[in-house]
Amino acid sequence: MKAYCDGNDLAEAVGKAIRAVSSRSNNPILDNIRIEAADGTLTFAATDNELTIETGIVADVRSGGVVLVPGKLFSDFTRKLTGERIELDSTASSLTLRYTDSESGFSCADPEDYPALPVMAQSEHFVMTKKELKDLINKVAFSVRQDDVRPILKGVLFEVDEHTVTAVALDGFRLAKCVKPLISSTSALHAVIPGRCLNEIARMLDESDEQVRIYVQPGRVCADIGHTSVTSVLLEGEFVAYRNIIRSSFDTLVTVSVEQLSDSLERAMLLSRDDRSNPVKFDISERMLRITSASGVGNLDEKLGVVTSGPDLSIAFNAKYFTELLRVCGVDSVIIKFNSPGDPCVVVPCGGEEDFLYLVLPVRIM
């Protein structure tokens, strides 16, 4: 292989590919990044056999070829070469980078030992804007389960119909649901996409109205984002029947400023940082939400002016679950809907189109 490319382009492409290299892999060959030069393009790819990222940049390719470079080392090194014109020159076992009057070499593994990269059939898919997909992921992916107790909950359920996509994530303590419009879809689709895959997709999206196409086939999903693709296995199993969890009627409603509630809860968490449940108590009365929290290092007692309807109520929550949803909801005010101290509450935007919903389970405070 011999090719020339821009240092900024090289660093950006390697920085994308390295995201698919797992730090917990037991297979050393997967610690590498695959580089292929062909037809005026350098293609960088990495996989951990579950998540695969491929991205390409324009290059002056003098001779084609494939090399396998140590991923983390190459990523760290190329970040220091931005602004340079880079020559890549490889042999069977090494890759040399030349820039200005300098050069550096890397030992390479055998590309034949690298697993075959997944090939997606470009059939069933849906299309939406980058801005809408990024917002959709940000509003739900934080609620996926982080452990392996129920693997299916480490993913987000996508339900696609003709005009909209509904995304749902839950971890047993809270639920996030968001609905976004589609530009088009080929058919009704149902898939549980790993949260890690969605977070990597969101990193590569901007706030533009450019289109992104998501392909879904049995066992696999692929996001086509311009010159980059993110491919992942789908999670298998029966997702929670989430519609049975969300009640349709509530007794007590509270309309509150997102900024005020978030600031108050953040202060409460500072005082309860040694308690992993971050307990805060909500006392709801006419035109007031009183937030209290106590721990061995201090206590908090704040009163927020709110709009209420329905009977008074006292209920407690893990503050972390509220602060995370308030951070991503993207509105000025929300309506929190309650029933009893033992029932979950539901949070929806105040006014406008109801495109998201959060459900949070209460905690017991003795």
Spatial distance between the Cα atoms of 350 and 335, rounded to a whole number of angstroms: 6
- Segment 276-296 shows an average pLDDT of 89
Query: How would you label 323-360 residue by residue, b for 16+ Cβ within 10 Å and e otherwise?
Result: bbbbebbeeebbbbbbbeeeebbbbbbbeeeebbbbbb
- Structure confidence by residue, pLDDT tens digits, 226-239: 999 999 999 999 99
Structure confidence at residue 24 (pLDDT):
80
User: Can you read off the two tokens belonging to residue 121?
Assistant: 């059939």
Tell me if residue 82 falls in helix, strand or coil.
coil
Of the candidates 361, 263, 292, the one whose C-alpha atom is nearest the C-alpha of residue 321 is: 361
Query: pTM above the 0.85 mark?
Result: yes
Residue 227 main-chain phi, psi, to 5 deg: -90, 10
Question: What is the reported pLDDT for 275?
Answer: 65
Do 295 and 349 contact (CB within 8 A), yes or no? no
Q: Do domains 2-113 and 246-360 have the same CATH topology?
A: yes
CA distance 154 to 172: 11
pLDDT at 352 over 70: no
The CA-based dihedral angle spanning residues 23, 24, 27, 31, taken in that order and rounded to the nearest 10 degrees: 0
How many whole angstroms separate alpha carbon 360 and alpha carbon 174? 4
Query: What count of other Cβ atoms lies within 10 Å of the Cβ of residue 12?
Result: 18
Domain 125-243 indexed as CATH 3.10.150.10: yes
As a whole number of angstroms, the distance between CA 338 and CA 268 comes to 21
Backbone angles phi, psi at 269, to 5 degrees: -65, -30
Does residue 10 sit in helix, strand or coil? helix
Q: What is the mean pLDDT of residues 33-60?
A: 97
Other C-beta atoms lying within 10 Å of the C-beta of residue 219: 11
pLDDT tens digits, residue range 306-343?
Answer: 999 999 999 999 999 999 999 999 999 999 999 999 99
Domain ranges of the chain: 2-113, 125-243, 246-360
Q: Which helix (H) or strand (E) holds 238?
A: none
Whether pLDDT at 291 is above 90: yes
pLDDT at 120: 86
Report which of 104, 1, 17 is spatially closest to residue 9, judged by C-alpha positions: 17
* Stretch 199-208: mean pLDDT: 96
Q: Across all residues in the chain, what is the average pLDDT?
A: 94
Share above pLDDT 90 across residues of the chain, in percent, rounded to a whole number:
87
142-156 pLDDT tens trace: 999 999 889 999 999
For 220-266, write each residue's pLDDT tens digit: 999 999 999 999 999 999 999 999 999 999 999 999 999 999 999 99
> What confidence score (pLDDT) does residue 274 get?
65
For residue 68, pLDDT beyond 70: yes
| Cβ partners under 8 Å of residue 43, min gap 6 | 35, 36, 37, 54, 55, 56
Domain 246-360: CATH superfamily is DNA Polymerase III, subunit A, domain 2 (3.10.150.10)
pLDDT the model gives residue 22: 85
For 2-113, which CATH superfamily applies? DNA Polymerase III, subunit A, domain 2 (3.10.150.10)
Beta strands 174-181 and 164-170 are antiparallel
Strands 155-160, 51-58: pairing is: unpaired
Residues of the chain with pLDDT > 70: what percent?
Answer: 98
